[in-house]
Every structure is written in C-alpha cells, then in structure tokens.
Structure 1
C-alpha cells in the first residue's frame, strides 16, 4: 500500500470542502498563510495542561484506574500567562485548535524543527491520529534541554501531516465504542486501564 502525504493545495481545499465528511477541521485557524506549510499545518499550544504528581505513587500500575487518574493534575493557564517546562520535565498539554480528521485520511503530529533544536519534544510515542478523530490533541511535552523553557498559549508548537488512505476504514475512530480520547477538549491523561487484555 502506498502512503501519500497531502500537500498544501489539497490541505487548503479540504479545509474548505463543501462535503462535511471530506472536510479537515482545524479551528481556530488564525492565519492560514502562516500556518499551512508545503505539506503540513502548524498547530499551537493551548492553555490546558496535566502535570504528573509523583510523590504519592511508588510505581504506575496501568490497570489501576484510581492510581492512573490521580497521576496527573489538571492546570489551566490564561493566554497571557507563562508555563515553565524544566529540564527533564514531562507534561501533557492540549492544542489550542480543535481538530477533526476525515475518515479517508490519517494524521501525524510532528515537532517543529525550531523547537527540536532547543530540546523540546512534542510527543513521547503518540504521534498518530486515527481517521475519524475529533477534539483537541494532547501534546506529550518533554524538555530534553539544559534550561527551563518559557511556553505561552498561542505559540506554534507542532505540525499536522495528513495522509490519504487507500479506502475508508470499516470502523473509524469516532465509530469505535472503545475509543478513549475522541471528542477531548482539554489535555487528557492516560486511560490505559480501559485497554482489553489480549
């Protein structure tokens, strides 16, 4: 199967597509000329964070819903406030934009080169966005640098790359009853306890 990455012209057309099932939704898209690159769309940092709290846990048990639920604390900051991410620190944060991926596309969230050169990683492992997903995406931010980073809501943090599928999936993400993060509107902590054992 050939994977084709969608380019700027096709992204722009899909953002305005009259057929709702084909439309890519990224809102608010404040400045399309600045945010749409040759084959990606820049997304920004929102004000929703989840900060890990390690003092009360000796270890993470992925099957313990209460422990996983208490692993992070939700924090909201205003658009004029700063968030300091210290060296070696990991936090979850939401995109400012609400995103909907049509069922005939898949998406990847990738770091921007300028942030990478400062040591900021935008996802630990979860860079894939399934066909049919809608909601605010959650960044997995990690400061691999040696100095604290001052982050502000509205900063361009990552880019979305879209890929054409050879066909629409039998069951897209928004159609699966076990989808854990669809329709998320803030930074979401792990729901790994909902995974079924195989």
Structure 2
C-alpha cells in the first residue's frame, strides 16, 4: 500500500482487516482482557536480557523451572510415548544445558489468546548468536496457558539459560475475521497448561 495514513479511521481499518499488532493493541489487550499476565508495559533491559512489550511484539521471560534432557537409559525419543524419565528436574536461576542437548522450560507469563488472533514466536538474538535455539509452536486462537519453551544447545559446550529474563518474542497476527473453530472449541490437549508440559497424544 502506497501513501501515508492520514486518519485514525484508516489505521482502524488496517487493524480490523488483519495484520501484525502494535504495542498499543498488545498493551490494551493485556490490561483490559488479561491476554498476558503478568504484563510488563515497557522494555526492561538494564543488566538483563530484555523483556516486556516492544514495538510489534512481547518479549517473554523464562521461569525458573527446567526439565533437562538426559539419556542415561539409552532410550528412543518417541513423540507418541515420551517418558518423563528422560528428564532431570531443576529449579534454578541459571540452567546449564549439556552440549548438543536440550531443555524444556516455561514462560513466566500466562497467555490468553483472542479468538481472532494467531501468535508466533521467535527466539531472542542474544541466545541465537550463542548457538541456542528457542522453539515454540504457534499459540492458536482462544488457547491459554503457560507456554512450554524448548531450548536446543547446538554447540559442543555447556550453555546457560537465565530465568526471569527475556528468551523469546511473541508476535500477534490478527485475522481478517473470527475463525470458525478455535483451539478452545476443539478442546485442544494443551489447553490451560500450567508449568512445563511434556508431549501428549
């Protein structure tokens, strides 16, 4: 689209028709509708990896609960039958990921996604530049819960994850209208999850 938006009406029209949502919308949804709890209204960055609302997203924090992958029993990783014995639980401010391994964690924040919104997640560049990859699947319309985070250490060295600091950015994509069937409508298996949640079938 060319030209400059000259009125609030044009801006409202863009938001109604879909697109990536700005800080003003994120703040409004978080405060009025509890979309993000607890919610940080501005970027916190002094002495920490930044978190809080940004121009077009929200940088979430990692809680201090971790499940560190270990394969002491030489088990096979099976998404349909995943054993909790493959993890060691730790509650700590700094988690060490073994070389070429991964850790499951969760966000500090609890999310409630509106019916006409899909949320995607990208890792923080601070971690990406250290060879630590953050993976999160999309947050679907009307899903709610703590987000389970997966950190992959792609390096041959141990790597640190800092609890209560920023680890990933969520981007809110507004659809052109409400979906016919939401995650809540179909009773999705990860609805309302609390804490670090393992794979379910």
**TMscore range, shorter length:** 0.7 to 0.9
Aligned counterpart, 1:70: 84
TM-score by length of 1: 0.80
**5+ unaligned residues in a row in structure 1: which ranges?**
18-22
The Cα offsets for residues 36-70 of structure 1, whole Å up to 9 and x where unpaired, read as: 11111010010222233423354234444xxx133
**5+ unaligned residues in a row in structure 2: which ranges?**
1-16, 44-51
Aligned counterpart, 1:20: none
TM-score by length of 2: 0.79
Q: Secondary structure at the match of 1:174?
A: coil
Return closer, same or farther for 1:74/1:102 CA change in 2, 3 Å cut-off. farther
Aligned counterpart, 1:107: 119
Q: Secondary structure at the match of 2:27?
A: helix
- TM-superposed CA distance for 1:6, in Å, is 0.7
Q: Secondary structure at the match of 2:127?
A: helix
Q: Does 1:189 align with 2:198?
A: yes
Note the 1:109-128 alignment, pairs <5 A. Answer: 109-123=121-135, 126-128=136-138
Aligned counterpart, 1:157: 167
The Cα offsets for residues 85-121 of structure 1, whole Å up to 9 and x where unpaired, read as: 1331111111111111111111011111122111111
Q: Which has the larger radius of gyration?
A: 2
Aligned counterpart, 2:177: 167
- TM-superposed CA distance for 1:147, in Å, is 3.3
Q: Secondary structure at the match of 2:42?
A: helix
Runs of 4+ that moved beyond 6 A: none
Alignment size in residue pairs: 177
